[in-house]
Structure 1
Amino acid sequence: MTYRKRQQATSARQAAFTLIEVMVTLAILAVLAAIAVPGYDSIVLNSRLRTYTTDFSASAQLARSEAMKRNSPVTLCSSSNGATCDASAGWEQGWVIRSGSTVIRRFPAANPGYLLSSTVRELTFLPSGFGSTPASLTICRASPLGSQERALTLSVTGRITLTRTQTGNCS
């Protein structure tokens, strides 16, 4: 008796993954995700810090340009209610731009965990565009990943300088 060999159908169109291949791929993706997530948190925190720094810098530039446009002093001040200047409020509670009793723009409070610290609670720009006093503001976030800080310096001429700092004093 002769046995005939049965030919197996091999088609070039067959394209499937085995269970082992799928499991190995998922394991590799899980390891990569576990490595990437802490780095992503750092990127998000740094982005928020940069946003607050940019918002405050833009606020100061807006106050300066409004002072020149209106030909009257314009004040950028900390505010807890978004309507009036509040010397006891921290900058992280929000701030407003005012010309006399008119509120030009309101800025909301920062997210919890962010600190905007300065020795001054208001910045006044004169009609010439100059600031009435020089000021500096530190914007920081104390996080489990380490302190992240930005310093904003406002000169009497109205020039704003942004720098990264690492004093570690954010609390």
Structure 2
Amino acid sequence: MNITKEQAFSLVELLYSLLLLSILLAVATPNLKLLIERNQEGALRDSLIAFLNEARSHAITLRRNVRLCGSSDGLTCDGDWQRYWLMITTDNDQTIQLHHLSDTADLCWRGARDSIEFHPNGTTLLGNGRFSLCRSDGVAWQLVLSRQGRLRFAGDEGAGCCPTGDTTS
């Protein structure tokens, strides 16, 4: 007669394993949240870079002035860079492209005007400007746009965040 021994976890072993798992999750969860936030910030930065480069490319290709602006409603330029970005030809105000931000970001533009205009040669109308993305602990990143239409990543140094609610400071 073969006697087989059943194998299982005791209640104490199971509770101990659950306790250990809950401690590990409590430690890992805040780091995961931070990782997700940083990922979203990077995705927004990459979208903005692509949108700016595409506008510059359209201006050169179409041989027309192309204006980028922020919009709260997706229809008119009002300097609110947190909801929509519009790409418009300046000669007939035709919208070439509309970009909707999925989450409201604390993004602001600091420049001579509240919009960016690319000439057919790829340069901007009125000198340098910078985009800043802010979070509760300060500036997440900044993109500097030169008069030649080139972008430079500025990290978190330099000018601070725009005042709350002001996207064109």
Once superposed, what is the RMSD of the aligned Cα atoms?
A: 2.3
> TM-score, normalised on structure 2?
0.81
8 Å contact from structure 1 (residues 138, 151) kept in 2: yes
Q: Is it true that 1:163 corresponds to 2:150 in the alignment?
A: no
Of residues 131, 137, 146 in structure 1, which corresponds to 2:131?
137
Give the counterpart letter for 1:91 in structure 2: W
* Cα distance per residue 1:127-149 (max 9 Å; x no partner): 1112222211111122xxx3351
| Contact persistence 2:132–2:140 (CA under 8 A) | yes
How many percent identity over aligned positions?
A: 25
Question: Which range moves more in the overlay, 56-65 or 125-134?
Answer: 125-134
Query: What does 1:101-116 align with in structure 2 at a 5 Å threshold?
Result: 101-109=93-101, 111-112=103-104, 114-116=105-107
Pairing 1:40–2:32 present: yes
Structure 1's unaligned 5+ residue stretches are 1-6
Give how far 1:34 is off. 0.5
Could you list the per-position Cα deviations for residues 42-89 of structure 1 after superposition, in whole angstroms to 9, with x for gaps in the alignment?
111111211221111111101000001101111111112212222xx3
Q: Is the 8 A contact 1:147 1:166 kept in 2?
A: no
Structure 1 CA distance for aligned equivalents of residues 139 and 8 of structure 2: 48
Write out the 4+ residue segments of structure 1 that deviate beyond 4 Å after TM superposition: 166-171
Preserved CA contact (<8 Å) 1:52 1:139: no
Rg (Cα) greater in structure: 1
TM-score (norm: length of structure 1): 0.81
How many residues align? The count is 157
Does the CA contact (< 8 Å) of 2:139 and 2:160 recur in 1?
no
- How far residue 166 of structure 1 moved from its aligned partner, in angstroms, is 5.8
Offset, 1:96:
0.5
Taking the TM superposition and a 5 Å limit, the aligned residue runs for 1:1-171 are 9-11=3-5, 14-86=6-78, 89-100=79-90, 101-109=93-101, 111-112=103-104, 114-120=105-111, 121-132=114-125, 133-142=127-136, 146-165=137-156, 169-170=160-161, 171=164
